[in-house]
Amino acid sequence: MIKFLKNLNIIYERLLLFILVIILLISAWCVYDCWYVFEHTADKNLFRYRPGSPVNAVAVGDEKISDDMVAWITIDDTDIDYPIMQAADNTKYLNTDPFGRYSLAGSIFLDSRNSSDMSDSYSLVYGHHMEYGRMFGALDKFLDSDFLSKHSHGTLMIGKNADIVCKLTVFASFRASAKDDAVFEPGKGDIREFISQKADISVNENKKILCLSTCAEGDAVSRIVVFCYINNE
């Protein structure tokens, strides 16, 4: 009986050790995963690919950015400074970086139903809501009217080689539902009327609109949307 209890105790200790090792490995993976995602969203080397960059990324031997790049967006004095990708559907760049590699952070991407040259009257761009303002993690700050008024300028370079350069003016922001067709179904519904009602402002009828969208924390259906005028120079 004593020998049986001893063996049982050994089995218990080994099982407990095994469980602890598994927990340690899972914790280590979580830490690595967080580091990996942050490092990729904070990768300054990506700026080499910005049209007009003084450093020619290809010339220094870096990998090529995907031909799916259709534009580059910058919102002044924020961390929003990224290439805009576009694929045949809206799933590819959820977990694919601009170089075509798997990435939990994904990419900033244009809705597949929009024209790649941003010629539509309304264009919709998506991005993950990442920590520390990475990707579109800074959009929630625009819900503050004071922040919006101080960060209302940006640039949209259309085409991989910046064939067209437009200034952006941020003019409205609010929370919307992913079920709001006017926002998330380009060409369906009156987006100007919808913005006017939600933001209680008068929307310019003659300027093209660019929407930046990201998930809102704590609600699977809620989205943070920021609207910009595309000002052709």
DSSP secondary structure string for all residues of 154-171: EEEEETTTTSEEEEEEEE
Residue 100: partners with Cβ closer than 8 Å, 6 or more residues away: 66
Task: With beta carbons less than 8 A apart as the criterion, state whether 37 and 104 touch.
Answer: yes
Return d(Cα 27, Cα 133) in angstroms, integer: 24
Return d(Cα 143, Cα 11) in angstroms, integer: 57
Name which residue leads in pLDDT, 20 or 90.
90
Q: What does the pLDDT read at residue 43? A: 53
Q: Is 61 a residue whose pLDDT tops 60?
A: no
Q: Hey, which of 9-18, 145-154, 181-190 has the most confident mean pLDDT? A: 145-154
Q: Where are the domains of the chain?
A: 2-41, 65-232
Q: Is 121 a residue whose pLDDT tops 90?
A: yes
Percent of the chain at pLDDT > 90 equals: 62
Per-residue pLDDT of 64-80, as tens digits, reads 889 999 999 999 999 99
Q: Is 148 helix (H, G, I), strand (E, B) or coil?
A: helix
Q: What does the pLDDT read at residue 104? A: 86
Give me the chain's average pLDDT, please: 85
Distance of CA 181 to the CA centre of its chain: 20
Q: What does the pLDDT read at residue 6? A: 60
Q: Is 231 a residue whose pLDDT tops 50?
A: yes
Q: Hey, which of 11-15, 40-44, 203-207 has the most confident mean pLDDT? A: 203-207
Q: What does the pLDDT read at residue 30? A: 43
CATH architecture of 65-232: Beta Barrel (2.40)
Q: Is 120 a residue whose pLDDT tops 80?
A: yes
Residue 177 bridge partners (DSSP): 222
Per-residue pLDDT of 178-212, as tens digits, reads 999 999 999 888 999 999 999 999 999 999 999 99
Instruction: Tell me the two tokens of residue 41.
Output: 């969203």
Whether pTM > 0.85 for this model: the answer is no
